[in-house]
Amino acid sequence: MRSCASDAPSAAAQLGVNHPAVLTSWMHAFNVTRNRAAHHARLWNRTNTRAPLLPPLAASGDLAFLHVDEHARKRLFGVLCCMRTLLRAIASELDWHRQLKALMSSFPRTPTLSIHAAGFPSDWETLPLWRD
C-alpha cells in the first residue's frame, strides 16, 4: 500500500493550507466529527481533545482569530471554520456557509442553551471567514 505522506505537501498547497500537518489534523477532525454525527454522539458542547491545528499566525488569514479563541477552536465551531476554509478553496460556488448561518439563526435563544456552547463567538457571522 502506498503512503500518502509524499502527496501531503502538494495537497496542502493546492488547498491553500501550505502546512501538511495542519491539513492532516483537519482531515482527522472532519473524520471524528462525521463519525460522532453518524453515530448520534454529542457534538454540541463537546471539547475536541484533538482540535484542528492552525497554520502559523502569519499564515492563518481568516482563521487568525482562532489563535486567541481556544474555546472556539476546540469546539464544533473550530471544525466548521476549517471546513469553510477548505470549501472556499475547492468549491467556492457552494452556499454551505449561508445554510449554516440560516440554521444557526433559527437556534432557539434560551438562557440555558446557546450556540456559545459549541464554540460560536457572539459575533461569528461578522468574521471575515463567514462573510460572503
Instruction: Give 18-68 pLDDT, tens digit per residue.
Output: 888 999 999 999 999 999 999 999 888 899 988 999 999 888 899 999 999
Mean pLDDT of the chain: 90
**Taking Cα atoms as reference points, which of 15, 28, 45, 18 lies closest to residue 119?**
45
As a whole number of angstroms, the distance between CA 35 and CA 46 comes to 14
As a whole number of angstroms, the distance between CA 110 and CA 94 comes to 31
pLDDT grade, residue 1 (50/70/90)? very low
